[in-house]
Amino acid sequence: MAELFGGVSTSHVPAIGRAIARGLQGEPYWKPFLDGFVGVRAWLAQQRPDVAIVVYNDHGLNFFLDKMPTFAVGAAPEYLSADEGWGIPTIAPVPGDQDLSWAIINGVVEEEFDVVTCQEMLIDHAVTVPLQLLWPDGPPRVRIVPICVNTVQHPLPSPARCLKFGRAIGRAVAAYPADVRVVVISTGGLSHQLEGERAGFINPEFDALCLNAIVNEPARLTVYSPRELVALSGSQGVEILNWIVGRGILGSTAREILRNYHIPISNTAAAVQVLEAA
């Protein structure tokens, strides 16, 4: 049976990808954030995952404002990255796990989640930057199942809906018969806003509330509407929805292994958090 052993949640700021490409990891601006991944990499090396379920939001490579699914699941044999205009080099193709993808798709549809199935799918910085942060020495040996959440075009899914969606994915993984070790990677946020009168907005108090709640009180975040999340965390801070989906996948209880929070990284509250499933 599949073993879902834990999850990593991390920011996916494009500027991180540029810094990695330019070899700036040791500079004072980047070091406090990037040093937080030393322990994460050691944990992953010990756990040796076969598959990573990557929960993220697309930034226009697959979906745009005219066609924006609430939830989409990749079911491709491999995933290519593309030039998004941020100056981030593309990475080598990342292999997919089609069998697990279809198990998840079938499982969540049976639980009445209407997902878009993508047998071809490009991956952007929301996937490639976390993969580079977690496996900096080259392409990871893991296969991936990308799961895309709409955090861009309103109406957005509610935190309650995202938690239920994650739990449905978790049940599908638990029923998967293959002997594979699975890690969840949730990407985005934390609080930030890139435009308008509140450009540069960061809310450390709400970020702390989210990081604490994610561990063993994720339902605490379901009291907020998407509009309330925007007010509290910024228009792009709603990427916390990805973290909520990822936390739902892990099941009812989890143990925090590591946390690092740093501000700012390119006007964003950047964080990484590692949880082990009970």
The CATH number that applies at residue 197 is: 3.40.830.10
pLDDT averaged over every residue in the chain: 94
DSSP 50: S
Largest CA distance in the chain: 51
For 35-44, what is the mean pLDDT? 96
Q: Taking residues 56-78, what's their average pLDDT?
A: 93
pLDDT, tens digit (0-9, with 9 covering 90-100), for 236-262:
999 999 999 999 999 999 999 999 999
pLDDT at residue number 88: 86
Catalytically active residues, by annotation: 125, 192
46 near 138, Cβ under 8 Å? no
Q: Is the pLDDT of residue 32 over 80?
A: yes
The parent domain of residue 252 ranges over 3-277
For residue 215, give every residue at least 6 positions away whose Cβ sits within 8 Å of its Cβ, in sequence order, or none.
Answer: 254, 255, 256, 275
Per-residue model confidence as pLDDT tens digits over 137-191:
876 789 999 999 999 999 999 999 999 999 999 999 999 999 999 999 999 999 9
Confirm if 152 and 84 have CB atoms less than 8 A apart. no
Decide: pTM greater than 0.85.
yes
**Both ends of the chain: CA-CA distance in Å?**
16
Domain count, the chain: 1
Tokens encoding 175: 């029923």
List the structure tokens of 268: 């964003």
- What is the pLDDT at residue 139? 63
